[in-house]
Chain A
């Protein structure tokens, strides 16, 4: 892919450019069999995300108090939230998929929240990452759907009660609709995070540029500063909601795979 180190820039231009926060830089050069698998800052933050969420869950639940401590109840709320989500949309049969839905939700949520720290890299702002997650989910749904229902899974594309003449057209539309799922799943997460971070950076950049213009500029900078503060709040909402949307759609697709037509 294109982002393999062509983006090395001189440090001076980094400050005011809203895009440079998404640059990938190699931390450890690795080359296996002609493939570039270098350890980048993106990989570093993925590892950090997994480590932080795993450490938090292990640490907070290690007490196993009957009366949960504050941190333990955060973990329990997280568990119950995802479990409720999955049970509501896929039924108790879907609970065998709980580990993957929980992991996805926690990973995306923690990655998004990590991105809210200044100078941190936001891994969900790269479509490669979100597309890998989305195609993983859809691949799992397809494999499990065929494993569970055999060829009956294909009935997903043939709605009942359609006149025979229209069936080819309807099947084509249904197939396109199914294929658009991973695209919309990945594009939504990536686009929201990317756009939010760029907007935030642009407004923050206004503050810096304006306040360099003297007293009038400093007064004028109040407005973009207020916007930047408000946008930060909005970004926290988006960080949570995108993880929520990703998780709930995963649950709905799992529901498609496990509930066969009779």
Chain B
């Protein structure tokens, strides 16, 4: 009998039902286990998050170079305009090109998330955190 190889005591009808129940339970635990359906759903979720993350990653890659160039160009432009109007050549260009470079580095750091997006949004986040903390301490 094929059943006997599976379970040690399946001689009459009663134990066979028990056997079935046991197997059902095993199936259920397998489904919920590390390779089960729940785990699969979780993996799906992770994959979706990863995909969203990679989309944001490509978008960020597009940002970085243009943020840097824009900073230097705007700094140089302001310096050049100041030199034109106040005839301070070449000091306006020198100073504002350097400031533009600093602004460009700041832009890139912000775009890559190494520096807080801006002082204001940082404060809102901190305030929200404070509110959450207060609520927790109230309870």
Does B associate with A?
yes
Interfacial residues, chain A to chain B (CB-CB below 8 A): 155-156, 158-160, 169, 172-174, 176-177, 179-181, 183-184, 187-188, 191-192, 237, 241-242, 244-245, 248-249, 252, 255-256, 259-262
B94 within 8 A of A: no
Most buried by B among A169, A173, A259: A173
User: Which A residue's beta carbon lies closest to that of B117?
Assistant: A252
* Contact assessment for A176 and B99 in the assembled complex, using a CB-CB cutoff below 8 Å: yes
B118 within 8 A of A: yes
Return B88 CB to nearest CB of chain A, in Å. Answer: 16
User: Which A residue's beta carbon lies closest to that of B96?
Assistant: A176
Residue among B66, B99, B106, B107 making CB contact with A188, cutoff 8 Å:
B66
Please measure, in the bound complex, the distance between the C-alpha atom of A176 and the C-alpha atom of B70, giving whole angstroms: 9
* Contact assessment for B121 and A255 in the assembled complex, using a CB-CB cutoff below 8 Å: yes
* Contact assessment for A244 and B119 in the assembled complex, using a CB-CB cutoff below 8 Å: no
Among all A-B residue pairs, the 4 with the closest Cβ atoms: A184-B70, A176-B103, A180-B70, A188-B66
Number of A-B contacts (CB under 8 A): 89
Interface mask (B87-106 → A, CB under 8 Å = 1, otherwise 0)? 00000000010011011101
* Contact assessment for A256 and B103 in the assembled complex, using a CB-CB cutoff below 8 Å: no
Please measure, in the bound complex, the distance between the C-alpha atom of A91 and the C-alpha atom of B83, giving whole angstroms: 43
* Contact assessment for B99 and A248 in the assembled complex, using a CB-CB cutoff below 8 Å: no
* Contact assessment for B74 and A180 in the assembled complex, using a CB-CB cutoff below 8 Å: yes
Residues in chain A near residue B78, CB distance under 8 A: 176, 179
B136 within 8 A of A: no
Interface mask (B67-96 → A, CB under 8 Å = 1, otherwise 0)? 101110111001000000000000000001
Please measure, in the bound complex, the distance between the C-alpha atom of A156 and the C-alpha atom of B110, giving whole angstroms: 14
* Contact assessment for A177 and B119 in the assembled complex, using a CB-CB cutoff below 8 Å: no
State whether A188 and B63 are in contact (beta carbons under 8 Å apart), knowing that A156-B118, A261-B120, A261-B123 are contacts in the complex. yes
Please measure, in the bound complex, the distance between the C-alpha atom of A237 and the C-alpha atom of B55, giving whole angstroms: 10
State whether A180 and B107 are in contact (beta carbons under 8 Å apart), knowing that A241-B62, A262-B127 are contacts in the complex. yes
User: Which B residue's beta carbon lies closest to that of A257?
Assistant: B120
Please measure, in the bound complex, the distance between the C-alpha atom of A256 and the C-alpha atom of B123, giving whole angstroms: 11
Residues in chain B near residue A176, CB distance under 8 A: 71, 74-75, 78, 96, 99-100, 102-103
User: Which B residue's beta carbon lies closest to that of A177?
Assistant: B103
Instruction: Name 7 A/B residue pairs within 8 A (Cβ), A-sorted.
Output: A176-B78, A176-B103, A177-B110, A183-B70, A187-B69, A188-B62, A237-B58
* Contact assessment for B59 and A248 in the assembled complex, using a CB-CB cutoff below 8 Å: yes
Please measure, in the bound complex, the distance between the C-alpha atom of A188 and the C-alpha atom of B69, giving whole angstroms: 10
B6 within 8 A of A: no
User: Which B residue's beta carbon lies closest to that of A158?
Assistant: B119
* Contact assessment for B118 and A173 in the assembled complex, using a CB-CB cutoff below 8 Å: no
Residues in chain B near residue A184, CB distance under 8 A: 63, 66-67, 69-71, 107
* Contact assessment for A191 and B66 in the assembled complex, using a CB-CB cutoff below 8 Å: yes
Residue among B58, B69, B100, B104 making CB contact with A241, cutoff 8 Å:
B58
State whether A245 and B123 are in contact (beta carbons under 8 Å apart), knowing that A177-B107, A180-B71, A184-B70 are contacts in the complex. no
Residues in chain B near residue A191, CB distance under 8 A: 66
User: Which A residue's beta carbon lies closest to that of B127?
Assistant: A262
* Contact assessment for B120 and A155 in the assembled complex, using a CB-CB cutoff below 8 Å: yes
Please measure, in the bound complex, the distance between the C-alpha atom of A177 and the C-alpha atom of B16, giving whole angstroms: 76
* Contact assessment for B119 and A183 in the assembled complex, using a CB-CB cutoff below 8 Å: no
Residue among A173, A237, A259, A260 making CB contact with B103, cutoff 8 Å:
A173
* Contact assessment for A155 and B119 in the assembled complex, using a CB-CB cutoff below 8 Å: yes
* Contact assessment for B70 and A169 in the assembled complex, using a CB-CB cutoff below 8 Å: no
Residues in chain B near residue A179, CB distance under 8 A: 74, 78
Please measure, in the bound complex, the distance between the C-alpha atom of A255 and the C-alpha atom of B118, giving whole angstroms: 10
Return A220 CB to nearest CB of chain B, in Å. Answer: 32
B4 within 8 A of A: no
